[in-house]
Every structure is written in C-alpha cells, then in structure tokens.
Amino acid sequence: MYLILFGAPGVGKGTQAKILSSKLNIPHISTGDILRAAVKAQTILGIKAQKILSAGELVSDEIMIGIIKEVLTDPKCSKGFLLDGFPRTLAQATAFDELLKELNLMDKILLISLDTNEEELIVRLTNRRACSNCQSIFILKDIKDLDKCPNCGAVNSFYHRSDDQEEVIRRRFGIFQSATLPILEHYEKMGKVISVDGFQPVERVTEDILNCLAKISDNKNSISA
C-alpha cells in the first residue's frame, strides 16, 4: 500500500503512522523525524534546518523534494510506504505526483486525512512530550514516571519539542491552513482521499482507517473479478 497520512500538526499522524506501518508492514517515512535526526547529528542539512524547525516554519520545497526522492526510490519502499509530514505544500505535491508517475504508482496512492479541531489540538500539543531516545510521543497525564520512558526505558529522556510551544504551534497552524490544506483539495479532485475523525481514541482512529482501506481493497477486487 502507498499511503499519505495527512492532518494538522499534533493530530496524531506520528502515532497512527507507527501503528499502521507495523500492521500493514510498510515503512513509515516521517520527514519531521528525518529532519530532527539530521539536526541531532549536525549534518549539513541538519545545521540548515535547525532554526527553521525551532521556529515552526517549513524547510524549502527543493530540500524536501530531494529528500523524498532519495527515500522513495530506495528498495525498502518498493512494496509500499506510509508518508507522514509530506507533501506539505502544493509544490511538494506536484513534484511528488511526477515521482509517482515515474514509479507507476499514481493509481495506487491514497491520502488518509485525520480531521481535527484547532483549539483541542493546541491543548494536546502543549501537553505532549517526546522521548529523545526512541522518539515516542506521550501526553503528560499519561506518563506515570517522568524519569523513565515507558516505551524504551531511557532515563530522563523526555523533552518538550521547541515547536510544541503555544506561540510556535499557532504559527504552525497558520502555515498548515495556508500552505498545506490546499493539498487535500488537490487529492480530493483525483478521488484519492479517505477522511477519518482524528479526535477519537487512538485505537478507534486506527480501526476506522483499516476498515476504510479494507473496503477500498474489496471494491477493487470485485471490480477486477
């Protein structure tokens, strides 16, 4: 399966992507994770991206398209992928469509939209913490022991992402509305969008997505039978 997970910052794309990637056995490609790893390793890309990420702004289309071309043409993505955080602008979507055509995947791509409500998302984002070791994300009230990551056991590894501060979040929302939301219409016109309520509990969101994907696959099978 070739999937784009789409939604506002903090709606739970990363959480769903991890679950779906393991259930569907396809690699999870998070452009945010790729950039954060580059910042941590202080590569040339990381040094360029550091300030942009902290300010909640977007890295240039040219850089992002270059990264995604390299990742998606890797053999590990030949049987499917789950994109989280890309495309984020219409220019990225257009370049991505060209790449999909080259790879003969245009008729296979689907976009899963996690629908949201801005104010609830702000509360969720300001209360979330990430583990610097395994990159898992938790809501503060769900962490029993703040000294130890419940996923990987790392000690004192929680941090508040600089792009999860309220002022930065509001800027990320503005950018989402103006630069990223038009992508939804772009793929809706092609009949490639599945919409799911992103404010349900994590398991329900996953269930809804898997049910929609199963229905689409049943329809395709019955058409080709």
Q: Which residues bind ligand AMP (CB under 6 A)?
A: 9, 31-32, 35, 52-53, 56-59, 64, 85-86, 88, 92, 163, 172
- The minimum distance between CB 52 and ligand AMP, in angstroms, equals 5
- Listed as own residue / partner, the contacts of 25-28 with beta carbons closer than 8 Å and 24 or more positions apart are 25/80, 26/1, 26/79, 26/80, 26/81, 26/82, 27/76, 27/77, 27/80, 27/81, 27/82, 28/81, 28/82, 28/84
Q: Pick between residue 86 and residue 138 the one whose CB is nearest to ligand AMP.
A: 86
| Of 36, 88, 124, 129, catalytic | 88
- The minimum distance between CB 35 and ligand AMP, in angstroms, equals 5
| 129 given a catalytic annotation | no
- The minimum distance between CB 84 and ligand AMP, in angstroms, equals 6
- The minimum distance between CB 110 and ligand AMP, in angstroms, equals 18
Q: Pick between residue 163 and residue 208 the one whose CB is nearest to ligand AMP.
A: 163
Q: Pick between residue 57 and residue 115 the one whose CB is nearest to ligand AMP.
A: 57
| Of 36, 124, 128, 129, catalytic | 128
Q: Pick between residue 42 and residue 217 the one whose CB is nearest to ligand AMP.
A: 42
Structure-token match 């199963």, residue found: 214
| 128 given a catalytic annotation | yes
| Of 13, 36, 124, 129, catalytic | 13
| 88 given a catalytic annotation | yes
Q: Report the catalytic residues.
A: 13, 88, 128, 161, 172
